[in-house]
């Protein structure tokens, strides 16, 4: 019974995370302008990894780290889903100074997005494990 409640809570967290954080990569439009949309930093696993590492180093109390890891998990998962949807579109990732990695093809952009989808899902999984690890420590 306890596992079913955790599963429902986890699914609700992921849905809430997608609703709240899904548009995060598109902040590059308002911060950098439409000409730099799909900026490599915003369309990567950089921010989810930074949030995960920052939360993991700041919070030490069990309940606080469990809640913050849940937020980290939802954040990384939502950005990973956003990048996955971008993977099926034919628009280039913007890299400063060089613009694009390879002109005339979208293969490099797809590799970038695919690798960062995997990175985001990895951060989400690590957050989930750390959240559950704290639960096991209480027992």
Average pLDDT of the segment spanning 125-139: 67
Q: Mind giving me the DSSP string for 47-89?
A: HHHHHHHHHHHH--SHHHHHHHHHHHHHHHHHHHHHHHHHHTS
- Rg over alpha carbons for the chain, rounded to the nearest Å, is 17
Q: Over 90: is that where the pLDDT of 58 sits?
A: no
With a CB cutoff of 8 Å and minimum separation 6, the contacts of 94 are 36, 37, 38, 39, 40, 100
What's the confidence (pLDDT) of residue 122? 96
β-sheet bridge partners, residue 99: 95
Q: Over 60: is that where the pLDDT of 94 sits?
A: yes
- Model confidence at 139, in pLDDT bands (50, 70, 90)? very low
Q: Over 70: is that where the pLDDT of 35 sits?
A: yes
Average pLDDT of the segment spanning 46-51: 93
What's the confidence (pLDDT) of residue 100? 64
What's the confidence (pLDDT) of residue 137? 47
Q: Over 60: is that where the pLDDT of 135 sits?
A: no
Give domain limits for the chain: 2-138
What's the confidence (pLDDT) of residue 134? 45
- Output the average pLDDT for the chain: 83
Q: Over 60: is that where the pLDDT of 43 sits?
A: yes
Q: How far is CA 64 from the centre of its chain?
A: 20
- Model confidence at 82, in pLDDT bands (50, 70, 90)? very high
Closest CA to 93 of 41, 24, 39: 39
């Amino acid at each position: 019974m306890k596992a079913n409640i955790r599963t429902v809570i986890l699914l609700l967290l992921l849905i809430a995370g997608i609703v709240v954080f899904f548009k995060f990569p598109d902040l590059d439009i308002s911060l950098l302008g439409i000409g730099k949309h799909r900026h490599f930093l915003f369309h990567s696993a950089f921010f989810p990894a930074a949030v995960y590492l920052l939360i993991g180093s700041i919070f030490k109390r069990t309940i606080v780290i469990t809640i913050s890891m849940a937020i980290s998990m939802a954040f990384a998962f939502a950005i990973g889903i956003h990048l996955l949807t971008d993977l099926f579109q034919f628009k280039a990732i913007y890299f400063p100074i060089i613009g694009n990695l390879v002109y005339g093809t979208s293969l490099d952009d797809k590799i970038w997005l695919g690798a960062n989808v995997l990175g985001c899902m990895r951060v989400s999984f690590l957050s989930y494990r750390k959240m559950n690890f704290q639960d096991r420590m209480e027992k």
